[in-house]
Amino acid sequence: MVKDKLKVIYSALVTPFNEDESLNEEAIRKLVEFELDNGVEGFYCCGSSGEGLLLSLEERKRVLEVVLDEVRGRVPVISHIGTVATKDVVELAKHALNAGADAVSMIPPYYYNFSMDEIVDYYLDVVNEVPDIPVIVYNIPQFTGVSFNRDNAGRLLENDHVIGIKHTSTDLFGLERMKNDFPDKVYLNGFDEIFLSGLVAGANAAIGTTVNLYPKTFRRLMDLYEENRIEEAQKVQSLINHRVKEMVSVGIFSAVKYMFMKQGIDCGTCRRPFAKLNDQQKARLDRLIAEGFEIE
């Protein structure tokens, strides 16, 4: 039942900051309500889009608390807790459980070129110490240097407490092989620009940065796919890709925050060392905003 509940369209929620880079809790609440009103079906907190690795442990806890308090059980909330130290991940997992998150998600430990045995143990330490919180493996090799596939992820997917994979990778063969051998797990597509391809390969949910702004478009694509209206779904994917291209060209996380500011929710800028948008970049986003926020 938990896994079925999680098969929805998630916003990879950005984290609003004040001018001094402190958390803007009022803006977090406004953002959550705005996105719920516009069709977001779930929230993924403190991931890449949420600048999770630029937040302290206490800030990550507070973001989750504020989001959960504002959501009030209306949609599922997943907390990204991944970091390099196992003790910190376990601490965040315990907090997420006590705060009421539906699941936690974790990138593998990075920087030290850990062995796969060490990486698997990192996940299993959370499973063993906090067995009551479902765990989702976060596969994002472009950032971590670790690529999960059927062989290495299978050691985790065999565990009942590991309920799925957040697959932010272009390796759709690997996704299909995991889905083939572990069909009861949750597979969350992570790259917005290959959402349709991810669905074909076995994804049954999505977590996306541009979902923050375009949730109905993603739901429309998923509905068209499930109705076997593939040519129409391809057209929607092309529209998503146009938007992704424009936003990536200026820095996608900064772009999302700017586009929310233009809709009346001041999310601030991304934390340093991210650079602020210049006037030319803002003008490019203004042209994208003028195109509208959803398909008709």
Catalytic residue positions?
138, 166
Query: How far is residue 200's CA from residue 247's CA, in Å, rounded to a whole number?
Result: 25
Backbone φ and ψ for 196, nearest 5 degrees, come out as: -60, -45
Backbone φ and ψ for 259, nearest 5 degrees, come out as: -70, -30
Q: How many CA atoms lie within 13 A of 232 on its CB side?
A: 14
DSSP codes, 1-22: -HHHHT-SEEEE----B-TTS-
Please compute Rg for the chain using Cα positions: 18
Could you give the angle at the alpha carbon of 212 between the alpha carbons of 255 and 39, nearest 5°? 150
Q: Which two tokens stand for residue 3?
A: 């896994």
Query: How far is residue 143's CA from residue 168's CA, in Å, rounded to a whole number?
Result: 10
Query: How far is residue 213's CA from residue 292's CA, in Å, rounded to a whole number?
Result: 10
Contact in structure between 146 and 115 (CB atoms under 8 Å): no
Q: Which two tokens stand for residue 19?
A: 């001018």
Q: Is 159 left (phi over 0), alpha (psi -120 to 50) or beta?
A: beta
Query: How far is residue 78's CA from residue 293's CA, in Å, rounded to a whole number?
Result: 25
